[in-house]
Every structure is written in C-alpha cells, then in structure tokens.
Amino acid sequence: MEKVALAEAFDSFDEQWSPRLAGELNGQAVKLAKAEGEFVWHHHEDADELFLVVSGELTIELREDSDIVLQEGEFVIVPRGVEHRPVTDSEAEILLFEPSETRNTGNVESERTKTDLEQLD
C-alpha cells in the first residue's frame, strides 16, 4: 500500500491530455492529467466522470447547459451521456475519477484518443 503525493505525481510527467493511472479501487480509476487548450467534444455512454482541479483552471463546456468553470480545489461530476469538452487557456492539473475502462475521448475516435493508460512511475 503506497501513498500518492499529487504534486510529485504531476511533476513526474509532462505530456498533456494523456491521463496517468494513479490508483484503482472498486473497479474505478484515479487518473491524473495535464490539460491545455481544447479537448474534443465527447460523451461516455456508461460512465459518470469526476473532474477535480488540482492546479490551474478548467472549463467544462456542455452542449446543452452553461459552461462550468472549475478553479483549484473544485470538482464536478459529468453524468453519463452528457456531451462535454474540457477547455483551458493555460495548463491545468486535473484528477479524474471514473471507471477503469473509460476511454478519454468517450464515443469519439480522435488523435487525442489514448488506448493505453500509462501508470505513474
């Protein structure tokens, strides 16, 4: 049983939009991602998704609702089926919580799609 220090974990990689697996429990995964710019519009058919901002600011754009702007220490849960697009002006560090098998781009295949989730060092 090893603890994870978020600051150290984020320092261990640079790649953006490429979530790292930081832990698993009850079939769910804790993933850490760096984000900058615009992601792709997508939804997850069978997975609710939690976004917690660890540093920076992240906007969750929603097709059918107002944007949600998350500052450091704020989280939102995007329910399954809800189309969304994470967007950020400058780099943000994000903790994701979702089922282990959830694909980052959900229903969409794009250059941003990551099929192999990298483990943290």
Which chain residues interact with a copy of itself by CB under 8 A? 1-7, 23-26, 28, 30, 47-50, 54, 62, 65, 68, 70-71, 73-79, 82, 97-99
In the complex, the smallest distance separating the C-beta of residue 91 from a copy of itself, rounded to whole angstroms, is: 17
97/50 Cα distance (integer angstroms): 5
Q: Measured between alpha carbons, how far is 38 from 1 in angstroms, rounded to an integer?
A: 36
Q: Three-class SS of residue 9? A: helix
Nearer to a copy of itself, 73 or 111 (CB): 73
Residues 6+ apart with CB under 8 A from 7: none
Would you say 74 or 109 has its CB closer to a copy of itself?
74
Nearer of residues 3 and 111 to a copy of itself, judged by Cβ: 3
R_g of the chain computed on alpha carbons: 13
Minimum distance of a copy of itself from residue 7's CB (angstroms): 6
